[in-house]
């Protein structure tokens, strides 16, 4: 017997509401329309079967007692604790009524990739989805034109039948869903050729999506009523668009701030310079102060990511790395020796900094600290 609790990953005492939440989450993840894995359809079927059993008190009870949750109810061998409770409290004689053919549709999840610029400033996309829509031929009724469902001859439209069952306390009358009409109270005798009586068909449709500025990986956009239409032409579920941000070539995002690393020659660091860099807002000029050391930063205000909740933008933080020439010609070497002599610098002079000294961190240490790692 299948382990329905294990399939949903819940305990045996998990409440119906919690089981429903787990099922909705798993159904979105493994629905064949949104999950390209070839095993997703089978997994989705297992999840749905498990939910069908554990969400129905009677089926769950029979399953917990080791019985077949989908078995018929004739004979005394399938008589369970629920039947005894029905006998004592009169539930067996009550009329719960037929269940509606029209039911709410499922939610759907689609993931889309955005580049950093689209995530920063927002964009508009058109998403193509394969989903269930109302059958245009029968308008969701499930029956052919000029045909209507007929009242079930077995249950007379009640959607349930009463049975007398032999038990340890004698004969007990219980009510169960009618097998002939599956509890609907009516039977579609002439089903629609387009949807085979389901009231909906699979179709491809294009949905416009407006992505707000400032989104990042993991954010979801909810489109109400854009999910699957339910059986019998029931109301559609919601469509969730999950954002996946593609890493940028040279800009690194940290919340609303952006980080970029640039390398400048030691002469520019010593004398100061103005360099141009590419940003999301186009080319920008960065002023390098004279005496800039490797690992120092320059902050460009309001050139980061647009704040999703709030106003304004983050900053662009420029990390400066000073490069030392590895090859010098004779003239350059003499010039450097002359500079060192005039500054009183020799190769024997060494400054030792402690473990926590900022001077010993270097570029990568500072970048690491900037990201909080």
Per-residue pLDDT of the chain (373 residues; tens, 9 = 90+): 688 989 999 988 888 888 888 888 888 888 777 788 888 888 888 888 888 888 888 888 878 777 777 764 433 334 444 444 444 444 444 446 788 888 899 999 999 999 999 999 999 999 999 999 999 999 999 999 888 899 999 999 999 888 776 655 556 677 788 889 989 999 999 999 999 999 999 999 999 999 999 999 999 999 999 999 999 889 999 999 999 999 999 999 999 999 999 999 999 999 999 999 999 999 999 999 999 999 999 999 999 999 998 889 999 999 999 999 889 999 988 998 898 888 888 766 666 655 555 544 444 454 445 444 4
Residues 50, 54, 56, 62, Cα dihedral to 10°? 100
Listed by start position, the domains of the chain span: 1-71, 76-245, 252-370
Helices (H), the chain: 4-8, 16-30, 40-54, 57-64, 81-89, 116-121, 266-271, 330-342, 362-370
DSSP letter at 191 equals B
Contact call for residues 103 and 109 (beta carbons, < 8 A): no
Q: Angle, to 10 degrees, between the axis of helix 57-64 and the axis of helix 40-54?
A: 100
Say whether domain 252-370 belongs to CATH 2.60.260.20: yes
Nearest to 319 by CA among 351, 280, 277: 277
**Please, are residues 166 and 73 in contact by the beta-carbon 8 Å criterion?**
no
The confidence score (pLDDT) of residue 346 equals 72
The domain 1-71 is classified under which CATH number: 1.20.1420.30, 1.10.1200.10, 1.10.287.110, 3.40.50.2000? Answer: 1.10.287.110
pLDDT for the residue numbered 281: 95
Q: Which two tokens stand for residue 194?
A: 């387009």
Per-position DSSP letters for 308-336, written without gaps between them: SSSSSB--EEEEEEEE--S---HHHHHHH
pLDDT at 73: 43
pLDDT, residue 16, reads 84
Q: Is the pTM of this model over 0.85?
A: no
> What does the DSSP 8-state code read for residue 92?
G
Determine which helix (DSSP H) or strand (DSSP E) holds 203, and give its type and residue range. Answer: strand 200-211
Q: Dihedral of the CA atoms 301, 303, 305, 310 (nearest 10)?
A: 50
- Determine the pLDDT at residue 86: 44
Look at domain 76-245 and name its CATH class: mainly beta
């Amino acid at each position: 017997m299948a382990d329905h609790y294990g399939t949903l990953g819940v305990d045996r005492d998990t409440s119906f509401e919690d089981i429903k939440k787990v099922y909705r989450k798993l159904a979105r993840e493994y629905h064949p329309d949104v999950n390209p894995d070839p095993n997703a359809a089978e997994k989705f079927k297992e999840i749905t079967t498990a939910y069908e059993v554990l969400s129905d008190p009677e089926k769950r009870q029979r399953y917990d007692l080791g019985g077949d949750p989908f078995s018929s109810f004739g004979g005394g061998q399938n008589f369970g604790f629920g039947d005894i409770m029905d006998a004592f409290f009169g539930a067996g004689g009550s009329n719960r009524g037929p269940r509606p053919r029209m039911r709410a549709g499922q939610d759907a999840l689609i993931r889309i990739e955005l580049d950093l610029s689209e995530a920063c400033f927002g964009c508009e996309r058109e998403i193509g989805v394969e989903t269930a829509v109302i059958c245009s031929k029968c308008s969701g009724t499930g029956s052919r034109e000029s045909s209507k469902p007929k009242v079930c001859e077995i249950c007379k439209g009640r959607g349930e039948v009463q049975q007398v069952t032999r038990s340890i306390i004698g004969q007990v009358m219980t009510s169960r869903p009618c097998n002939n009409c599956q509890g609907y109270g009516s039977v579609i005798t002439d089903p629609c050729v387009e949807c085979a009586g389901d009231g909906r068909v699979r179709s491809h449709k294009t949905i416009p999506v407006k992505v707000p500025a400032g989104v990042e990986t993991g954010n979801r956009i909810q489109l109400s009523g854009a999910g699957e239409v339910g059986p019998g032409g029931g109301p559609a579920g919601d469509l969730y668009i999950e954002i996946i941000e593609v890493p940028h070539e040279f800009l690194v995002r940290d919340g609303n701030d952006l980080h970029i690393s640039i390398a400048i020659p030691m002469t520019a660091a010593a004398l100061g310079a103005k360099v141009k860099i590419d940003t999301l807002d186009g080319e920008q000029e960065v002023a390098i102060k004279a005496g800039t050391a490797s690992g120092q930063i320059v902050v460009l205000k309001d050139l980061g990511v647009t704040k999703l909740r709030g106003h304004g933008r983050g900053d662009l933080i420029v990390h400066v790395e000073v490069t030392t020439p590895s090859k010098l010609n004779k003239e350059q070497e003499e010039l450097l020796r002359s500079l060192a002599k005039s500054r009183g610098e020799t190769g024997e002079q060494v400054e030792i900094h402690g473990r926590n000294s900022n001077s010993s961190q270097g570029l990568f240490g500072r970048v690491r600290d900037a990201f909080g790692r």
